Amino acid sequence: MFYWIGAGSLAVVVCVPFFFMISTAFKSRGALMNIPMEWIPKEPTMEAFAKLFDVPYFIRSMGNSLYIAASCTAAQLLFASMAAFALTKIPFKGQKVIFSLFVTALMIPVQITFIPIFIILTRLGLTNSLNAFILFQFFNAFAIFMLRQRMLTIHDALIEAALIDGADWWRIFFQIVIPLCGGTLATLGILSFMSVWNDYLLPLVLLSDRAKATLPVILSGLSSQYKYQYDLMMAGALVSIVPIFVLYICVQGQFKEGMTVGGVKG
């Protein structure tokens, strides 16, 4: 009983900021300053959302963020699963050494790589390009680690039987291994999409053209340009979480399964 009381209390505390955000987004400018505060707007309005979509480049920034998040997620899942498959099911010398290097990469903070990344992309002429973000997903140590742990649970007898039947490695990868990793891929897909969608620092560094700015960059400008229009800022925050919420609803059945991966030795 105490467990459910504690869990319920914690859930209420966590949900209060989200409820405040939704409530404020649908309030009129006058209702924002009412004392005591109105948790449920007496006269809900869409005025903040109408003004939000009139902000320069806001709609375009949503398209930019969606393109980057979707393409980066697809690239990460493809290349990470290929790397994990090679590290678990295709014998070659140096497997453990290469995997150790991947694990070591997890200890490097992403922020300290921004300057080298900027210099490299500048020399390649890839700054101010949305496609440049896809390059960062060719190597993702965390995704490789998660998928490797899942693939270690796939019995080698399945691979051996497929090889005996004449299947090549690509067919084994796409028709046997990938379907068995559905839960892990769903989990990584959500985490990757959420990470790229909410990323602020890297787009700020690499994208100087306002027309190519991502949603977090545009939303950060609202706090200075519309400093005291809290309804507008909360409406922007609410819009920004909708794609992640929809994605989670679509794959929630496999999300829990994927979160249990990671305790297998190998």
Digit-coded pLDDT (tens) for 79-100: 999 999 998 988 888 888 888 8
Do residues 33 and 64 both lie within one domain? Answer: no
Whether 27 is in a domain gets the answer yes
Q: Please, are residues 155 and 177 in contact by the beta-carbon 8 Å criterion?
A: no
CA neighbor of 154 nearest in space, from 171, 135, 133, 178: 178
Report d(CA 266, CA 255) in Å as an integer.
Answer: 23
Confidence band of 106 (pLDDT split at 50, 70, 90): confident
Higher pLDDT, 226 or 115: 115
Quote the pLDDT of residue 215.
92
Of 49-53, 57-61, 88-92, 106-110, least confident by mean pLDDT is 106-110
Do residues 9 and 140 both lie within one domain? Answer: no
Do residues 2 and 60 both lie within one domain? Answer: no
**For residue 20, how far is the Cα from the chain centroid?**
24
Do residues 40 and 70 both lie within one domain? Answer: no
**24-53: buried (b, 16+ CB within 10 Å) or exposed (e) per residue?**
bbbbeeebbeeeeeeeebeeeeeebbeebe
CA neighbor of 200 nearest in space, from 219, 217, 212, 213: 217
Q: Please, are residues 82 and 214 in contact by the beta-carbon 8 Å criterion?
A: no
Quote the pLDDT of residue 32.
66
Do residues 35 and 133 both lie within one domain? Answer: no
Q: What angle do CA 136, 138, 139 make, to 5 degrees?
A: 85
Report d(CA 138, CA 147) in Å as an integer.
Answer: 14
Do residues 57 and 96 both lie within one domain? Answer: yes
Fill in the DSSP letter of residue 200.
-
Lookup: tokens for 220: 């950060």
Whether 264 is in a domain gets the answer no
Whether 92 is in a domain gets the answer yes
| Residue range 212-218: mean pLDDT, rounded | 91
Do residues 117 and 212 both lie within one domain? Answer: yes
Q: Between the CA atoms of 192, 196, 200 and 204, what dihedral angle is there, to the nearest 10 degrees?
A: 140
Report d(CA 210, CA 192) in Å as an integer.
Answer: 24
Do residues 24 and 130 both lie within one domain? Answer: no
CA atoms lying within 13 Å on the CB side of residue 216: 17
Reply yes or no on whether the pLDDT at 261 is more than 60: no
Whether 41 is in a domain gets the answer yes
Do residues 79 and 171 both lie within one domain? Answer: yes
DSSP string, 79-148: HHHHHHHHHHHS--TTHHHHHHHHHHHTTS-GGGGHHHHHHHHHHHT-TT-TTHHHHTTS--HHHHHHHH
Reply yes or no on whether the pLDDT at 141 is more than 90: no
Q: Please, are residues 8 and 214 in contact by the beta-carbon 8 Å criterion?
A: no
Quote the pLDDT of residue 263.
45
Lookup: tokens for 193: 């999409």
Average pLDDT score, the chain: 84
Do residues 8 and 123 both lie within one domain? Answer: no
Whether 51 is in a domain gets the answer yes
Share of the chain above pLDDT 70, in %: 91
Do residues 26 and 102 both lie within one domain? Answer: no
Residues found in the chain: 266
Do residues 122 and 225 both lie within one domain? Answer: yes
* Domain coverage including residue 2: 1-45
Number of domain units in the chain: 2
